[in-house]
Structure 1
Amino acid sequence: MFTLFRKEINGYLSSLVAYITIGVFLLVMGLFLWVFPESSILDYGYATMEGLFNTAPYIFMFMIPALTMRTLSEEQKDGTFELLATRPLTDWQIVWGKYFACLLIVLLALLPTLIYYYAVYKLGATEGNIDTGAVIGSYIGLFLLGGAFVAIGLFASSVTKNQIIAFAIGVFLCFFTFIGFDSLSQLLSFRTIDSFIASLGINEHYQSVSRGVLDTRDLVYFLSFIGAFLVVTKTVLGGRKW
């Protein structure tokens, strides 16, 4: 698995894929955080990074499917998955190797945004006047969200040989699982059903973690969500006749 993981990372870093993905992410987040008046902290009047953490999930909906769309679909299209399958690797090792490689790229995209936190920390009227606990919780929530979207993108890439179709499926599933259940719950009139349906979506758990309190239920939800999509991805790969 580690050999495949290193191969995937080298593949990303030796091409422009990772650099363009990370660069576009940082540029867009910088614009939303500092430039656009609707979300700029310069117009808020107080030190906060809510603009970044409220916008990042929607950027992830497009960035991560674009990152993962080639992981398995390209292998299938080029016929290289047959060679990969003949090596002493199980389906799980292939899935985990590609998953962790994409997740590392997501982490590398998030790390430079700590500069934004440092800038907000220093530029406040009172230095350090920012809720660091909430920021840490939001970063944890954003990383878990990225892990969930990577699992979705990997699944989307496993069901088709066409990268564009894989991207479209990934974007749709990311969008639906993030806010689709919230929208669906608003169509129902019973409070208990509303709460249950909303709890099935990612957004409620992401917002919960972003408050700075890591609830075990939220952690179990994200791990279960990721595990479910990886199991389906492994099942799709195992069911194909190469």
Structure 2
Amino acid sequence: MTAFWVLLRRELAAYLVSLSGWVIMAAVAFLIGLSFVDLLLAVRQTPLPVHVTEVFYQTPYFWIIMLLSGPVITMRLFAQERASGTYETLMTSPVRDGTVVAAKFAAALVFFLVVWLPLPGCVALIRYWTGEAQALEWPLLGSTYLGIALLGMLFLSLGCFASALTRSQTVAAMVAGLLGVSLFLLSFAAPEPGAEGPVWARVLGVFTLVEHMRDFTRGVVDLRPVVLYGSTSLAFLYLTLRAVEARHWK
């Protein structure tokens, strides 16, 4: 466990002291702020029919942040180590491969959650602007953050796998982005509720990211997407571990 915490601090420091880490945080904060400016302009015309978090998730800004932040955050995890020549030094140190993968993924997840910190402030601002500052629903914010964390785990695990396959950060980001967008598009492959459809469409329709996130923003926590995202993330982390261990076969 000591090695895990050392590697975790190392990876977090790499995010927080690098220019790219601050650029990512600034870009996400800008997009979140931009989306809430649009919401403020909307509530001047008519009151919001649903909670702010549900309206925010329906904006394109939310999915732009979700689909792009994962590949950008994870592209450096293994690819940069390979390109800089520190990969072999790290992997031959007295630490297990699984510990390295777990620490890098945990650091990416912590940083991912940090960049979403402006969200509660923007929700509070909307509530204050509409005269409902006392009606800030923390359980609803908590379920929304849970959905964001679960989606983040999924996209970050895809990014870890892609980064472990190449020494090019650009290629890693492109592969992770392609995988993430493909999973997102599966949300539109599912047949309508109660409608018949091909078996493959119903199977792929399990990854209805849009519908799952809608439930989380409404305060509905269903264990099925929790298990789905958790198991899928573990599966891609296992593939990442196997890709890291592939150096033993050369």
TM-score band w.r.t. shorter chain: 0.7 to 0.9
Partner residue in 2 for 1:107: 113
Partner residue in 1 for 2:123: 117
Answering whether residue 211 of structure 2 is matched by residue 204 of structure 1, we say yes
- The 5-angstrom pairing of residues 1-242 of structure 1 reads 1-35=4-38, 40-43=42-45, 45-46=47-48, 48-54=52-58, 55-129=61-135, 132-178=138-184, 180-185=185-190, 190-191=196-197, 193=199, 194-241=201-248
Question: Alignment partner of 2:117: what SS?
Answer: helix
Report the CA distance between 1:74 and its aligned residue.
Answer: 1.0
Question: Alignment partner of 2:205: what SS?
Answer: helix
Consecutive unaligned residues of structure 2, counting only runs of 5 or more, are: none
Change (3 A) 1:157 1:44: farther
TM-score by length of 1: 0.88
Report the CA distance between 1:192 and its aligned residue.
Answer: 7.2
Consecutive unaligned residues of structure 1, counting only runs of 5 or more, are: none
Letter in 1 for 2:12: I
Letter in 2 for 1:181: L
TM-score by length of 2: 0.85
Letter in 2 for 1:222: Y
Report the CA distance between 1:73 and its aligned residue.
Answer: 0.6
Change (3 A) 1:181 1:161: same
Q: Is the 8 A contact 1:32 1:51 kept in 2?
A: no
